Amino acid sequence: MHVLHVVGARPNFMKAAPVIRALRSRQDIAQSLVHTGQHYDANMSDVFFSQLEIPAPDENLGVGSGSHAQQTAQVITRLEPVLVNRRPDIVVVYGDVNSTMAAALVCSKLLIPFAHVEAGLRSFDREMPEEINRIVTDRLADLLFTPSEDGDKNLLNEGVAVEKIHLVGNVMIDTLTRLLPLAKACPKNGFASRYALVTLHRPSNVDDPDVLQRILHSLSNVGGNLDVVFPVHPRTRQRIEALGLRLDNLHLLDPLPYIEFLSLQARATLVITDSGGIQEETTYLGIPCLTVRSNTERPITISVGTNVLVGQDSIALTSEVSKVLGGNAKPGAIPALWDGYAAQRIADVLEGFPLATRSARSRPRSADGLVGSRPRVQQR
């Protein structure tokens, strides 16, 4: 059985790493890895491969940046011949980035079965590009691996066949639990013993100059009470520099490799973010999380975990920060199956994926209808 993984952006790497590792020990399973190149900065991509012990990609599509349409089109165009040539039995896609949806479309056109890791998450906000990617990918997937029960409910409500849905837990937590000891062994940073860790990258927060300026002003006010440590996403840094603002009380850093970022996160007093994955990680770590969004596709981090939505409301942000600093942070617990073994459960399902289904659908065709050849795939 040949399993081909498609990754494209930093969150994908953290989800793919444990699945690749879990499949490596299974007999008669060969693997290959395609990196679309959606994230190509060394701190956003290359260093993650080394820290997460992901093998070098068999193919790098070199897509790079661009509009949503341009990125999606480039992945579709460059991925199709790779799949026709390599002819996998099943493709595994991760998360909700443009590469994920593009790969789903290519697989569906070529009649290649594919599995979606982190299926069923919904913000119910179609202004978010990621929400469109989630919906399209889940509608086309043959196997849907959900991280929590709300994902199952969303998929069933959308008419997905129950036999396609597998509640496996959160693969992000697999990576976190494996690397947390290394993160805790990192030297302590030079910041105060109490600090807020910040990440911002959502277009709704950083692309509108007025909104971004308002958020930065709120963060500067937070910085009057404790250090504010802000590893800045490249897109966000471009927007900040365009505003030409003087940012008092903020420690701006370059993007950090995963282990170093996890070290900061595990020691933080609180985290302020618009990232979905960080909402999950802070819930596992028991760190108060204030999410600068009006909705989340990960509601379990609110109902069970430590997450609080503050939107773009500076008053709400200040109030929640005061609660944390006053010892009244929201208590949280770890959701079911967030135990570090989600990838093993995924590997079990993939290993047992019906041979008849694979045979019927793993005949990839190019646009001209020609069946691709099937090369020898090296066992990893």
Alpha carbon of residue 4 to chain centroid? 18
**Does the active-site annotation cover 116?**
no
Contact 312, 339 (CB under 8 A): no
d(CA 105, CA 254): 34
For CA atoms 155, 2, 94, 284, give the dihedral sign: positive
Instruction: Label residue 151 exposed, middle or buried (CB < 10 Å: 0-12, 13-18, 19+).
Output: buried
Give the integer Cα–Cα distance in Å for 137 and 125. 16
Distance CA(101)–CA(83), nearest Å, equals: 15
Q: Treating both helix axes as pointing N-terminal to C-terminal, what angle do 314-325 and 209-222 enclose, rounded to 10 degrees?
A: 20
The identity of residue 55, as a single letter, is P
320, two tokens: 């929640």
Contact indicator for 80, 106 with CB cutoff of 8 Å: yes
Whole-angstrom distance, CA of residue 300 vs CA of residue 287: 15
Closest among 158, 176, 156 to 166, alpha carbons compared:
156
What residues contact residue 8 under an 8 Å CB cut-off, 6+ apart?
35, 36, 37, 38, 39, 63, 75, 97, 98, 99, 100
Catalytic residue among 5, 35, 39, 201: 201
The answer to whether 200 touches 236, Cβ cutoff 8 Å, is yes
Collapse the DSSP code of 342 into the 3-class scheme (helix H, G, I; strand E, B; otherwise coil) and give the result.
helix
d(CA 9, CA 44): 8
Q: Which residues are catalytic?
A: 201
